[in-house]
């Protein structure tokens, strides 16, 4: 049977690494997981308890935009965290951030539109864009730019849209309010759509993450309950869109997804009340970050931008290899540590980079760093 060209997308390499790690564990090996951006904790305990109490009620379809009480709670969240007065009507509850990106790309762009990605970046942006008939335009960034796109990128590329992420995956770097504002102005000047990926908000260290809604209303903001709220497997996120785009997105959501999972929406609503547990998780990430910065340097991995948020360090390993895929395989085979090759995030330059995640328990991070140091010493 014939298939479409848009269905031919690259693999998500981190998932392949996860499978190789799983096979090693099935064979009896102990593996330290630094490959996947998944919290080592589960959904907040009190939120789960409330959901269990509600499970006797029928959990059928919700309306396409999401539970009204959850949309209202998300809008309130923007007042609490960013001092932004947001109308609940602009909030769309989605099937994870991935569902939000599919809705955003479908609502904003016609076929063959050019959407800018500051590389290195989250790899699924590129593959989702391709799958819906759009053109991903790489905008190479540098360590000196802290891996964030610059407003001048519009002078070098004919863009219909730009995706920014702050904190970013795989680098953990953030945009300041002035930097985000400059990018928003550049998009406005070029009549290009701005999409702000904010799924790592709440996981920050020395500075507070800025929401694009603090600098413009002419933006699609994507967020998720996966990271800060530790709900990866529940597949629920949200998007904030301009008021005049709500009905457009609603029609797409109704037809593509019907609604996000009802139980997940209920759990997400209750998760907002679990601040102490969520902040305790963030304290672990902060301790792990300090361990990673020092431990990677001690092992010989010295070239990286210190992460401002999220739970990743993106390291230049070009002094040791020009084949990050094989280098990651060697680290897994010889040291029992799973890490992600940079090719996932930057197809052109990623062969000399690795991403290390520190989302797991502190004891795992300590052991992983010990193994990495021994691996490097043996080379």
Q: What confidence score (pLDDT) does residue 85 get?
A: 98
Q: What confidence score (pLDDT) does residue 12 get?
A: 80
The torsion angles phi and psi of 309, rounded to 5 degrees, stand at -160, -170
Q: What confidence score (pLDDT) does residue 4 get?
A: 81
How does residue 378 score in pLDDT terms, banded at 50, 70 and 90? very high
| pLDDT, average across residues 151-164 | 91
How does residue 5 score in pLDDT terms, banded at 50, 70 and 90? confident
HSE-up (13 A, CA, CB side) for residue 138: 15
DSSP secondary structure, 244-309, as one string: GGHHHHHHHHHHHTSSS-HHHHHHHHHHTT-HHHHHHHHHHHHHHHHHHHHHHHHHT---BPPPSB
E strands present in the chain: 32-33, 91-94, 114-119, 135-140, 161-165, 193-197, 220-224, 237-240, 312-316, 337-338, 340-341, 353-357
Compute the distance between CA of residue 141 and CA of residue 145 in angstroms, rounded to an integer.
Answer: 6
Exposure of 286 by Cβ count < 10 A (0-12 exposed, 13-18 middle, 19+ buried)?
A: middle
Which DSSP category does 204 fall into? B
Task: List the one residue out of 200, 211, 212 whose CA is nearest residue 289.
Answer: 200
How does residue 36 score in pLDDT terms, banded at 50, 70 and 90? confident
pLDDT above 80 (res 45): yes
pLDDT above 80 (res 11): no
Per residue in 104-148, pLDDT (tens digit) is 999 999 999 999 999 999 999 999 999 999 999 999 999 999 999
Compute the distance between CA of residue 280 and CA of residue 69 in angstroms, rounded to an integer.
Answer: 26
SS3 237: strand
Helix axes 262-271, 45-54, angle to 10 degrees: 140
pLDDT above 80 (res 182): yes
Per residue in 259-292, pLDDT (tens digit) is 999 999 999 999 999 999 999 999 999 999 999 9
Write down all domains in the chain, each with its CATH number in brackets. Answer: 5-43+276-377 (3.40.640.10), 46-273 (3.40.640.10)
What average pLDDT does the chain have? Answer: 95
| pLDDT, average across residues 152-169 | 93
Contact 54, 201 (CB under 8 A): no
């Amino acid at each position: 049977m014939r298939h479409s060209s848009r269905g031919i997308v690259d693999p998500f390499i981190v998932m392949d690494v996860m499978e190789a790690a799983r096979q090693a564990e099935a064979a009896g090996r102990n593996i330290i997981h630094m490959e996947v951006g998944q919290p080592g904790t589960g959904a907040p305990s009190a939120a789960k308890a409330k959901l269990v109490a509600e499970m006797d009620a029928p959990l059928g379809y919700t309306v396409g935009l999401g539970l009204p009480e959850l949309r209202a709670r998300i809008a309130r969240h923007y007042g609490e965290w960013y001092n932004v007065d947001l109308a609940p009507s602009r909030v769309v509850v989605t099937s994870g951030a991935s569902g939000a990106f599919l809705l955003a790309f479908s609502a904003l762009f016609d076929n063959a539109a050019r959407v800018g990605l500051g590389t290195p970046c989250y790899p699924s942006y590129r593959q989702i864009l391709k799958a819906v008939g759009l053109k991903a335009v790489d905008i190479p960034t540098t360590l000196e730019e802290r891996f964030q796109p610059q407003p001048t990128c519009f002078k070098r590329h004919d863009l219909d849209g730009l995706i920014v992420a702050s904190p970013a995956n795989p680098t953990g770097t953030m945009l300041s309010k002035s930097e985000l504002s400059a990018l928003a102005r550049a998009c406005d000047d070029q009549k290009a759509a701005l999409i702000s990926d904010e799924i790592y908000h709440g996981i920050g260290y020395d500075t507070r993450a800025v929401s694009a809604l603090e600098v413009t209303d002419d933006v699609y903001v994507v967020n998720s309950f996966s990271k800060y709220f530790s709900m990866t497997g529940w597949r629920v996120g949200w998007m904030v869109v301009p008021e005049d785009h709500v009905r457009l997105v609603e029609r797409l959501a109704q037809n593509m997804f019907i609604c996000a999972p009802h139980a997940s929406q209920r759990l997400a609503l209750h998760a907002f009340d679990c601040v102490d547990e969520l902040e305790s998780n963030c304290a672990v990430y902060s301790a792990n970050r300090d361990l990673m910065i020092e431990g990677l340097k001690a092992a010989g991995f010295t070239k990286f931008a210190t992460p401002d948020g999220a739970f990743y360090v993106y390291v230049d390993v070009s002094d040791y290899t020009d084949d990050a895929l094989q280098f990651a395989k060697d680290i897994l085979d010889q040291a029992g540590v799973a890490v992600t090759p940079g090719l996932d995030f930057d197809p052109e330059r990623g062969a000399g980079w690795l991403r290390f995640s520190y989302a797991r328990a502190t004891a795992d991070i300590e052991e992983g760093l010990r193994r990495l140091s021994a691996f490097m010493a043996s080379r």
